[in-house]
Structure 1
Amino acid sequence: MNLKLLLYPLLVLLGGCCYGILATIVKLAYEKGYTFSDVVMSQYFSGWIFLGILCAVIAIVGRRRDARSSVKLSRRIPILLITGAVTCSVCLFYYLSLESLPASVAIVLLFQFTWIGVLLDCLIEWKLPSKSSIVAVLILLAGTVLASGIIGNAISFTIVGVCAGLLSALCYAVFIFLSGRVEPQMHPVNRSFWIVTCALFVLLCVFSPEYFTSGLVVSDIWVYGAALGLFGACLPVLFYAVGAPKISTGTATILGSAELPVAIITSVVVLHEAVSWVQWAGVLCIFAGIAYPHLRSAKQ
């Protein structure tokens, strides 16, 4: 079996796992008194630094080879800017939904990206989804409801929170889609750097223009910012840039569902949060949904 065929799905899976670590780091930052805007800006600024260092190292050792170096960067800026805006919008809408909705509801809304991604793939490729993809999405949605802890709890909703949660799901699905199609001929590290650069630019212009002048950038938040930047803006963007172009959007969204199980496991290990047996059943259900299409194709 060609190992490269396994490598690309594995990278997308690891990208989803990286996003799962973020929730615990954000909670630790909130406990220290940092705000939502502080966390998001530090995440993308640190990720930009990490990717910039990678780009410099690759350039120094002479390994960076852009397959279409004749194409000027100015031509690529608009689509990279759109991709960067979509990338940071996932965090913005998700964290906005958390301000007015319980975390269990917000995560369920975010995970609607599974079927949105499959639907997006169908519309773009103009074909019906495979039976294995449909079954996998149904298993994932059932596992999400169980793992979120929403069952048996009184839930309060707000229109703003629900809309923000659904928009975060849409942006996540679009981000995965764009990761597989935006400038695939560019070096993955180079492409990831410019995507995060555009995301940081959008955040500075629209969301927090006073970030560098307020002195926050040199405060103790750099500890959390470095971790968030590595696992939230550097590694997953890079992993998706390498793996997503080689697989379908539907498959990528299914693999990205690893975020929720990793988030639960990390919160148990680091924050010592209590998790019910129903939530653990949901975790196993999500893992089963991720594995199902691949096991079925291997059997065939």
Structure 2
Amino acid sequence: MAHTDSATSARQSWIGTIQIITAAVCWGTLGIFSTYLNQNGFSGWQTTILRIVTAALIILVMLPKLWPQLIKLRPKQWLGLALQSLIGVLGMSVCYFFAVIYVGAGPAVALLYTAPVFSLLFSAFLLNESITRQSALLALMAVFGVGLTMLGEQAQVNWGIALGLLSGICYSLYGVLGKRAMHDAHPAPLVFFTSIIISAGILLLLPETYKTYGQLLTLPLSTWGYALGLSLIGTVVPFALYMKALEKLPATRASVFTIFEPLTAIALATLLLHQSLSWIQYVGVILILLAALFNAVLNGTTTRVPRWLKRRQRI
């Protein structure tokens, strides 16, 4: 019986690992789809609209199942979810897609992966979590890696670098604000649903949204495919896979395999977009990815309960 349970656990672990890697590969396509849309005349802002609003239309199928939980949310929880959505989804998407335009898909996703560094800082200020010496060293490694990505024959210190770093800041706040807002143990599907729907609701108030879809309707079906791929392959499918994988794997182990996201983005940018990096930029990308990888591995062995959660447990 014990042998059967062990075999089942091992099989579930492998399935979860494959789901995580597949999700990471899907996320890695965002830069490719956004580049194709930019080549068809869409700005970074319009690409953000296409991603979020289209994804919102797709995930509306989740509404009947989540409705009983949504109506129970308190105003304070809605505020936390709104901040998470507007900063972590809308803000991150805008900054990332503009960074892709300015510096290319490879460097943009590397800059996005500075998020763990910013998470350390925001966790210290917002969640009262301490910063260890090893975390500080990993942060310095990532910062040095960012510096190297700015070097090279084609690299320039421009808005793309700043926007790439801002996308990392927004991405880190998505997790930190979500952790703070979700300490009442709301399920991951609810977090994902509200993070997309709230931002989509804001975008639907803007005339630019309707202009963007009007522009899309005048273009060939291939462009529609890029917009659908951006939302379905680059957003909805990977998050669904990631949520299913978390049922089989610890979150710390799952985060290790998300390293396939930037690797996929860089490989696709090289193969499909012919966006090559200089050797020193590759060194910088590797340092950023190693910092993110070590952060995930070390956090898995040195996880501490935040002070605000300890206080809540004593109540």
String of CA shifts for 1:247-276, please: whole Å, max 9, x gaps: 68xx99987665433321121233344344
The CA deviation at 1:198 is 0.7
Distance (Å, rounded) in 2 between the aligned partners of 1:8 and 1:129: 30
State whether residues 179 and 241 of structure 1, in contact with CA within 8 Å, keep that contact through their aligned partners in structure 2: no
TM-score by length of 1: 0.70
The question of whether the paired residues in 1 share the 8 Å contact of 2:31 and 2:100 is answered with: no
Aligned to 1:205, what secondary structure does the other structure show?
coil
Aligned 1:103-118 pairs, distance under 5 A = 103=104, 110-118=112-120
**Could you tell me how far apart the structure 2 residues matched to 1:151 and 1:216 are?**
37
Deviation at 1:129, TM superposition (A): 1.8
Q: Contact between 1:112 and 1:169, CA under 8 Å: does it hold in 2?
A: yes
Q: Describe the SS at the equivalent of 1:180.
A: helix
The residue aligned with 2:195 is 195
- Which segment drifts farther, 193-202 or 118-127? 118-127
What is the one-letter code of the residue matched to 2:126? Answer: I
Counterpart CA distance in 1 for 2:299 and 2:173 is: 25
Instruction: Give the CA RMSD over aligned residues.
Output: 4.4
- CA distances 1:18-40 after superposition (whole Å, capped 9, x unpaired): 44321111112223333334322
Give the residue type in structure 2 aligned to 1:22. Answer: L
Equivalent position amino acid for 1:226 in 2:
L
| Unaligned runs of at least 5 residues, structure 1 | none
Alignment of 1:179-258 (within 5 A): 179-183=178-182, 185-206=185-206, 208-211=208-211, 214=214, 216=216, 220=221, 221-235=223-237
Aligned mates of 1:141, 1:259 — CA distance in 2: 20
Between the aligned partners of 1:107 and 1:295, the Cα distance in structure 2 is 20
TM (normalized to structure 2)?
0.67
Provide closer, same or farther for how the CA distance between residues 98 and 164 of structure 1 changes in structure 2, counting only shifts above 3 A: same
Paired residue for 1:267? 269
Greater CA drift, 251-260 or 277-286: 251-260
Letter matched to residue 232 of structure 2:
L
Percent identical: 16
Aligned counterparts of 1:167 and 1:240: Cα–Cα separation in 2: 24
Contact kept? 1:42, 1:217, Cα under 8 Å: no
Whichever residue aligns with residue 72 of structure 2, its letter is: V
TM-superposed deviation, 1:229: 0.7
**Structure 2 segments unaligned to the other structure (5+ residues):** 1-5, 303-315
Distance 1:162 1:281 in 2: 16
* C-alpha distance in structure 2 between counterparts of 1:9 and 1:163, whole Å: 33
Per the TM alignment, residue 175 of structure 1 is displaced from its structure 2 partner at its CA by: 1.0
Per-residue CA distance 1:117-139 (angstroms, 9 max, x = gap): 11111223424323332333333
CA contact (8 A) 2:113 2:292 kept: no
Output the CA distance in 1 between the equivalents of 2:139 and 2:13: 22
